[in-house]
Amino acid sequence: MKLSRMLFFVLVLFLLDQLIKSFFVTQGQMGSLIVYNQGISFSLLSQFPWRSILPFVLFLLIGFFLQKQSYGMALLIAGGLSNLADRLWRGGVVDFIDLKIIPVFNLADLLISMGCILTLIELIKQEIKE
């Protein structure tokens, strides 16, 4: 994936997550359950809010080190940036999807989870080829 395409993909996903949160969730359009999460994806490490930025920084460093320009890395970066923007602008990550069987989450958490899975698959495929 070319860097320009990856950056465009990241921007579109980032804006989509922020628009959903801004226009639908804060307006009460997607239901009444809104959680301001201080942790990482799915409320993990919420008792240590300062640590919640570490996984995002770690994935950025891994991506930079591996020089991976892939859909998996784009998903990770978009989700991480969107949740980071929430922390800076809203004081916590806005979570609003409640499936009752896992902690409340948002689109950015899904992007991060899917990005981890895709990146691992991409790395395994690359190892198999070599």
> Domain locations in the chain?
3-129
pLDDT per residue over 12-61, tens digit each? 999 999 998 887 666 665 555 666 666 655 555 555 555 556 666 666 66
Burial class (CB in 10 A: 0-12, 13-18, 19+), 38: middle
CA angle 33/39/42 to nearest 5° reads 55
pLDDT per residue over 103-118, tens digit each? 778 899 899 889 889 9
Give the predicted TM-score (pTM) of the model: 0.76
Contact present, 121 and 111 (Cβ < 8 Å)? no
Q: Is 64 helix (H, G, I), strand (E, B) or coil?
A: helix
Across residues 89-108, what is the average pLDDT?
A: 82
CA angle 85/66/42 to nearest 5° reads 40
- What gap in Å lies between CA 71 and CA 2, rounded to an integer? 10
Q: Which range (35-39, 100-104, 117-121, 123-127) has the least confidence?
A: 35-39
- What gap in Å lies between CA 91 and CA 18, rounded to an integer? 14
- The answer to whether residue 86 is catalytic is no
Q: Which long-range contacts (CB under 8 A, 24 or more apart) does 26-32 make?
A: 26/94, 30/96, 31/96, 31/98
